[in-house]
């Protein structure tokens, strides 16, 4: 059994992740956000040993990455969601003003998202899967594979109505930004968790709350379009520095200068 895990770590990881996903809905009628984290905690020590587990865990608290990456992780979701809302209004969607006085109430929710959703998903999806895939594929191909598998992770939320199908293009585009942030911060899962949190708060909780009914669909699709433009700009600007295809170029746990571009 252990040899199977070592030969097929990604298949094993997603098999376990989906098992936790199913168990969560069957037992608790809710999604277990910690599924990817638990799956990684099982697979990583089997394939990499104690030191590999330590190196993987170190990514979660890797904070020395340069201020600009914190700015990017928090600002890009604000730009995408805010511009999406503006475009929705410009095409005729009705919107209610943002209640500025209620924004401080989102702080506890942001902490919850960071420590439950962000911590539950990012150490697995970004901290484990992306480095594994980038041993064989470029960053773009690795991201496409992870995006497809990650969308499956979110399907129950769409089926139950907790989320709309319109989150699919948002997820797909967002995964490219996740990879870009992760690769350029020497594999900082913390930055990925912050980006995930900013997406969740600026999206549905602030700008998404301005719309209702069918207009939420309009807003979400336009927001995904903006995310797509951001991804196109990142890939065009990074060029071959974004394309990581060899073992020597993939993110490692070896220390690099803060903010160094991985793979160039």
Structure tokens at 45: 């020590």
CA angle 68, 226, 216 (to 5 degrees): 120
Scored b (16 or more CB within 10 A) or e, 111-142 reads eebbeebbbbbbbbbbbbbbbbbbeebbbbeb
Residue 264 has pLDDT above 60, yes or no: no
DSSP letter at 60? G
Residue 223 has pLDDT above 50, yes or no: yes
Q: Which pLDDT belongs to residue 238?
A: 79
- Collapse the DSSP code of 88 into the 3-class scheme (helix H, G, I; strand E, B; otherwise coil) and give the result: helix
Between helix 9-23 and helix 35-58 the angle, nearest 10°, is: 140
Spell out the domain ranges in the chain.
60-249
Pairwise CA distance, residues 126 & 104, whole Å: 29
Q: Which pLDDT belongs to residue 232?
A: 94
Q: How many CB atoms lie within 10 A of CB 20?
A: 20
- Tell me the average pLDDT across 228-237: 93
Residue 162 has pLDDT above 70, yes or no: yes
What DSSP string runs through 181-194? HHHTTTS-HHHHHH
Q: Which pLDDT belongs to residue 1?
A: 83
């Amino acid at each position: 059994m252990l040899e199977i895990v070592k030969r097929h770590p990604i298949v094993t990881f997603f098999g376990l992740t989906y098992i936790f996903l199913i168990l969560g809905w069957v037992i608790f009628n809710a999604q277990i956000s910690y599924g990817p984290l638990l799956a990684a905690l099982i697979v990583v020590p089997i394939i990499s040993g104690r030191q590999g587990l330590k190196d993987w865990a170190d990514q979660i608290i890797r904070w020395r990455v340069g201020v600009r990456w914190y700015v990017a992780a928090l600002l890009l979701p604000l730009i995408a969601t805010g511009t999406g809302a503006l475009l929705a209004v410009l095409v005729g969607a009705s919107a209610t003003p943002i209640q500025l006085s209620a924004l401080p109430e989102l702080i506890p929710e942001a902490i919850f998202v960071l420590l439950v959703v962000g911590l539950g998903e990012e150490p697995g999806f970004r901290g484990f899967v992306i480095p594994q895939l980038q041993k064989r594929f470029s960053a773009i191909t690795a991201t496409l594979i992870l995006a497809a598998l990650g969308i499956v992770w979110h399907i129950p939320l769409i089926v139950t109505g907790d989320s709309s199908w319109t989150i699919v293009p948002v997820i797909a585009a967002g995964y490219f930004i996740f990879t870009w942030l992760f690769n350029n911060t020497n594999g900082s899962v913390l930055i990925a968790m912050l980006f995930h949190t900013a997406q969740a708060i600026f999206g549905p909780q602030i700008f998404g709350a301005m719309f209702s009914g069918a207009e939420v669909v309009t807003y979400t699709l336009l927001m995904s379009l903006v995310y797509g433009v951001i991804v196109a700009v990142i890939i065009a600007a990074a060029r071959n520095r974004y394309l990581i295809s060899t073992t020597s170029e993939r993110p490692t746990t070896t220390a690099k200068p803060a903010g160094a571009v991985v793979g160039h």
